[in-house]
Amino acid sequence: MRKIILSFVLLPALLVICSGCGTFHALTYDGHNTFRSVDSNKYGFTKNYPKSFTIYPFKNTSWYQEASDRARQATFQAFSLIGPCMNPDETDKLATQPYCASDALKVARQQNSEAVIVGEVITQDHFWFFLMAYSYVMVKINIYDAKDGRLLYSGNTWDMDSDWGISILSPISSFIDHINWSRLTLGLYYRCAMDFVHDVRPDVMATK
């Protein structure tokens, strides 16, 4: 009997110790995959939309050092569907003040881009416990006209990947999600980037 009681005490303690160090968020999951509604303002995306972009280094306000690079790379690949994006390595050589709109405009003009994207990772997080596991990201971008500095677009979106289940009975799926949270989070940045592209240029994502 003592061993059974001890097991019930040690099991929750072990689960807590093995849990990720993320912060649990009270989230409402709407079941989207990609192309969710983005909270945005479209100031200047008309028929004369920009066709080339400089992707300026992203600001990172999350806990994770790699978050800004991942979000930026995803944005680079997604906006390449609209038009050519300048090589991020070349952009980095010219950038002097990350997340500074005036410096971003200067770099974009040097690269002869029509627009520059200045982004920010607001949140990157993951959480695992014996009843659930999830990864979550939130990203914001501003797009400026490189010629006159006008703000053309401002938007933010989020995405998550979750596994809800009674992990005490079937722990494998949620535990695998916890182990692979980094890979899952990377995929979420691509989904967010595609949300932005769909919001800016839905015709690019149209299927025949």
**pTM (predicted TM-score):** 0.77
Whether the CB-CB separation of 40 and 140 falls below 8 Å is answered with no
Q: What is the mean pLDDT of the chain?
A: 78
Q: What is the pLDDT of residues 118-131, one digit of tens each?
A: 999 999 887 766 66
* Lowest mean pLDDT, pick from 26-40, 109-123, 126-140, 184-198: 26-40
Query: Residue 146: is it exposed, middle or buried by C-beta count within 10 angstroms (0-12/13-18/19+)?
Result: buried
Q: Which residues of 190-203 are buried (b: 16+ CB within 10 A; e: fewer)?
A: bbbbbbbbbbbbee
Sequence spans of domains, the chain:
22-205
pLDDT for position 115: 96
Q: What is the pLDDT of residues 9-52, one digit of tens each?
A: 455 544 444 444 444 444 444 444 567 789 999 887 777 789 99
Output the CATH code of domain 22-205: 3.40.50.10610
